[in-house]
Amino acid sequence: MSKFEFTITTKMARKTYSLAIVGVLALLALVALGITASADCPMCAPDYETYPHEGFLKSLGPEEEQTDPILYTAKKARMENPLFNKNLTTGEDNNTDSTPSATPVATGNARDNNMLVSPTNVARSDVVLDVSEGAEAYIDGAVHITYSEFMDQDNHLKPVSELAALLGSAGIAQTDSVVVYGECAPCGGGPAAATYAYWVLSYMGQDRVKMLDGGLAEWQAAGLKVQSAPSARSPVQYVPLLRPDLLATKEYVTSNAAQVVDARSFQEFGVNAIPGAMNLPYDQFLDNGKVKDQAALQQVLEKLDPNKPVVVYAVTGTKASVGWFALTMAGLDARLYTLEDWFRTDSTLNIQLNQSLTGAQPNPSAPGLINITAAFEEAGEETPAQPVEENDTQLSVMGCATCEPITLLAGGSLGKDKNTGVQLGSSGMAATAATFQCQARIRGPDGAEAATVALSQAQEDVYTGTWDASAAAPGIYSVDILTSFAGVSKDFENALTIEILPAA
């Protein structure tokens, strides 16, 4: 499926919300076809500039049957969310039953709460940590750990032992006073890299940690010294004092013990979201690239119950950490979570092999090249369907069985509803995790693995690849078809057999 980069630019007057219907339908069509913005950094989903939410909704017109079921179900899913009215930039809330009984009271324009520090208040004894991606200058004396180094290759938070080794090798001890700053230049900047590093350090038990208010730009604006390369400190032993209360688990999210905030864009939230979540895009917590203080956050805080914990999530933890940081600074009990974990945990793919199209040619075959084909379809009558429980997770991918509609259901349950979902490789999931992958694992007559062949998409749900069996001994070979999407795997063992004849 082809993907093209595009930029959405909208202008919004203070009280005037307007958006052409043709433009909205075109945008939705692009989303439905998988034409999405691209991101240079796998840690982050693409950003979309703020556009008029209320005008966007009104332009969709009354709820009615559409010629394109994808557009209809996408709208229907948004409108059926009981907390949807909380997501409009107007701040209007028609769901009076869920209105909190109290809201945080602004205490002024304080920039401290022991979480932010201005450039002129950084002490000589502070360890300054730059977590930038693609930085061209560094604060004088700063050590450097790229914020993505806190994650493994699958964008999961690294084990505590590895995080401790990473920090210790940079010369940071748990008892140090640390000032963190940095941006991800390939992603367009912003404090997400720094807020995520702040969260990691807090999670590891760093008692004295602050974020540099305004980052490198304000440091330079204050006329303070920078250098072209980071500094190095002698390695130390980092002894973590873990704070697991800062990281939410799936069980905690589904327990209804906390309010759940989706920090992604409004568009991404409309495509897939954790059930019951309200949408507060991470940029609502920012003003000119800086985290808003409590007074400026008042409109956002009014949507939350100050007496109930908050879970903030995005695809990975980076952009969600902006919301977590702001809410924590405002005095709320906040925890971080990821959409990647939500869909990865206890999920299955709702697909099955199309036996009539799956096979190998030639078969039987003399030693040589053999074409292997794996075809898929949505799981049907042959797969026992289980009722979808209230807390089951579901992610559909619109269209065919592998690129439009894979359905992920938590708890191993399966369903056949083609609900609105996220395009393969789209902004709704991390780029490295949201591509449907297919392989053929070939096992010899003795059961040992003889070869693994990557299968690429030939058409819709059909994937093909070539096995070079030139050196294969005569016998019956078994082929397993291995699939994965969004970190969830499903294997089809003994999908077919291939007979290799003796060489002539």
* DSSP states along 55-114: HHHHHT-SS---SSHHHHHHHHHHHT-TTGGGGSTT-----GGG--S--PPP--S---TT
Q: How confident is the model at residue 485 (pLDDT cuts 50, 70, 90)?
A: confident
Higher-confidence residue of 132 and 486: namely 132
Q: Which residues are 66's β-sheet partners?
A: none
> Is 105 exposed, middle or buried, given 0-12, 13-18 or 19+ CB atoms closer than 10 A?
exposed
Give the single-character DSSP code of 384: P
Tokens representing 297 are 């956050």
pLDDT at 17: 33
Strands 462-468 and 449-459: antiparallel
Contacts of 112 (CB under 8 A, 6+ apart): none
Tokens representing 62 are 């009354």
Q: How confident is the model at residue 359 (pLDDT cuts 50, 70, 90)?
A: very high
Give me the domains of the chain, ranges plus CATH numbers: 21-106+247-344 (3.40.250.10), 116-243 (3.40.250.10), 347-500 (2.60.40.10)
**From start to end of 236-309, where are the E strands?**
259-262, 278-279, 286-287, 290-291
Cα(129)–Cα(112) distance, rounded to whole angstroms? 19
| Residues of the chain above pLDDT 90, percent | 54
Q: Dihedral through CA 96, CA 102, CA 107, CA 113, nearest 10?
A: -110
Average pLDDT for residues 307-320, to the nearest whole number? 94
Instruction: Report in angstroms the alpha-carbon separations of 490 from 182, 359, 441.
Output: 39, 18, 13
Tokens 């969004």 appear where?
A: 486
Contact 483, 347 (CB under 8 A): no
Tokens 């002490």 appear where?
A: 123
Q: How confident is the model at residue 391 (pLDDT cuts 50, 70, 90)?
A: very low
Residues in the chain: 504
| Residues of the chain above pLDDT 70, percent | 65
User: Tens digits of per-residue pLDDT, 171-222?
Assistant: 999 999 999 999 987 777 789 999 999 999 999 999 999 999 999 999 999 9
The mean pLDDT of the chain is 74
Give the single-character DSSP code of 214: T
Select from 285, 291, 136 the least CA-distant residue to 213.
291
Residue 442 confidence (pLDDT) above 90:
yes
Residue 408 confidence (pLDDT) above 60:
no
Tokens representing 13 are 């007057």
Q: Dihedral through CA 240, CA 246, CA 250, CA 255, nearest 10?
A: 130
User: 23: how many CB neighbours lie within 10 A of its CB?
Assistant: 14
What is the edge-to-edge ordering of all strands in the sheet holding 394-396? 347-349, 407-410, 394-396
Residue 307 confidence (pLDDT) above 50:
yes
Average pLDDT for residues 332-347, to the nearest whole number? 86
pLDDT at 16: 34
Residue 310 confidence (pLDDT) above 70:
yes
Cα(50)–Cα(312) distance, rounded to whole angstroms? 19
Residue 479 confidence (pLDDT) above 90:
yes
Mind spelling out the 3-state secondary structure of 431-489?
Answer: CCCCCCEEEEEEECCCCCEEEEEEEEEEECCEEEEEEECCCCCCEEEEEEEEEEECCEE
Contact 439, 485 (CB under 8 A): no
Average pLDDT for residues 395-404, to the nearest whole number? 42
Strands 310-314 and 259-262: parallel
Tokens 């797969």 appear where?
A: 383
Select from 481, 444, 486, 443 the least CA-distant residue to 464.
481
| pTM across the whole model | 0.58
User: Tens digits of per-residue pLDDT, 36-75?
Assistant: 333 446 555 443 333 333 333 333 333 333 333 333 333 3
Cα(342)–Cα(413) distance, rounded to whole angstroms? 15
pLDDT at 41: 62
Average pLDDT for residues 362-382, to the nearest whole number? 87
Please, what is the end-to-end C-alpha distance for the chain in angstroms? 42
Tokens representing 235 are 């390695």
Higher-confidence residue of 405 and 198: namely 198
The region of weakest confidence among 38-42, 67-71, 163-167, 374-378 is 67-71
pLDDT at 473: 94
Query: CB-hemisphere CA count at 13 Å for 123?
Result: 8
